[in-house]
Amino acid sequence: MARGLLVAAVLMFGGWALITSLDAPAGLAQEASRTIAAREIPVPAGASRELRDAIAAPPPTFGPTSVPSTVAEWEELQRQFDGAAAGTLEPLAAAYNVSVDRFEIEGVPTFRLTPDTVHPRHENHRFVYVHGGAYVFGGGEAGVTEAVVIAGRARIEVLAFDYRMPPAHPFPAAVEDAVAVYRHVLANRPAGSIALGGGSAGGGLTLATVHRLIELGVEVPGAIYIGTPWADLTDTSDTLHTNEGVDRILPSYDGLVSAAARLYAGDHELTHPLISPIYRDFDGFPPAYLVSGTRDLLLSDTVRVHRKLREAGVVADLNVYEGMSHGGYLLVADSPESEQMYAELSAFLLEHLE
């Protein structure tokens, strides 16, 4: 199986695409909102053939028929999403010439992903990977797909940790695990040699982790990767509305996504800066590589993070791809956009890691 198809299969059945209602909104309730008539959106000519084919294909139709309302229902949905990825890691790793070791860091299950040939300039670097999945999904092998891709394409050793998640472990468990893993890695190497990052909820959790490191007076990593981050768990970002139904992977905030936000936050407000990291200044942050797409439901979250980083004087490289939906650079892994995105991420790491 081609590497791109392998990645797509793992992600589609591993819980990355969280499908919610595809019904077009009748209009926004807020004052001065605009109601837009139903319209047909053509496949963008500026996207690659591979990405255009993905856009033209019917969107994924799997997913829950209703939002869980009990702990037992959430746990069953987690088992379905995450369990579907069982047995996929080794074939994917082999396709990318990456070896896999399983162990624990500070009690947190962790995967060490080592490319067969490490880039000479990455021999003393480590990438600590933070998986996505709406802060609820992506446990076990389901959360390691992008980590394998990064290890194989950037030729850097990656440590992907399986942080605790709700319903059993709501906020702040995930942040605590991320900080514990990072501090363990930091104890054995300079901060400037460590990259931290991930996509979607993993991008948001990366930002929250850096906020927490700064609070604790811990030296921040040398660079961070922020892929289409869920940085604001409230229903306020512009493209949650303008790209609703346009994003073929994450079509709406309403339904499962908003319920996951509430489940993750527990008794805390969604605007808590370690839950929605956009609600704190980014002073002291390391150089950041950000990526999104013009059809991404979380494009606004990505743009808002980029602006706050720049306002804080932080080096921030924003990359937006034509026609791409949420996480499309990973889901359409055989596209030129995907190849370019990870090549530029690798170059960014080489530039900023010590």
114, 80, 110, 83: which is closest to 97 by C-alpha? Answer: 114
Evaluate if residue 21 carries a pLDDT over 90. no
Q: What is the pLDDT of residue 24?
A: 38
Cβ contact 223:350 at 8 Å: no
pLDDT in tens, 224-282: 999 999 999 999 999 999 999 999 999 999 999 999 999 999 999 999 999 999 999 99
Across residues 280-295, what is the average pLDDT?
99
Q: Please give, one letter per residue, the 3-state secondary structure of 79-137.
A: HHHHHCCCCCHHHHHHHCCEEEEEEEECCEEEEEEEECCCCHHHCCCEEEEECCCCCCC
Q: What are the tokens at 97?
A: 């010439």
296: left (phi over 0), alpha (psi -120 to 50) or beta: beta
Q: What is the pLDDT of residue 31?
A: 60
pLDDT in tens, 93-135: 999 999 999 999 999 999 999 999 999 999 999 999 999 999 9
Q: Give the separation between CA 58 and CA 224, rounded to whole angstroms.
A: 34
Tell how far CA 229 is from the center of its chain: 6
Q: What is the pLDDT of residue 20?
A: 37
Share of the chain above pLDDT 90, in %: 86
Q: Give the separation between CA 79 and CA 146, rounded to whole angstroms.
A: 20
- The residue that leads in pLDDT, 20 or 279, is 279
Contacts of 275 (CB under 8 A, 6+ apart): 171, 208, 233, 264, 265, 268, 269
SS3 state at 234? coil
Class of domain 3-18+62-352: alpha beta
Q: What is the pLDDT of residue 35?
A: 83
Domain boundaries, the chain: 3-18+62-352
pLDDT in tens, 189-236: 999 999 999 999 999 999 999 999 999 999 999 999 999 999 999 999
Cβ contact 198:227 at 8 Å: yes
Tell how far CA 270 is from the center of its chain: 18
Query: Which residues pair with residue 316 across a beta bridge?
Result: 288
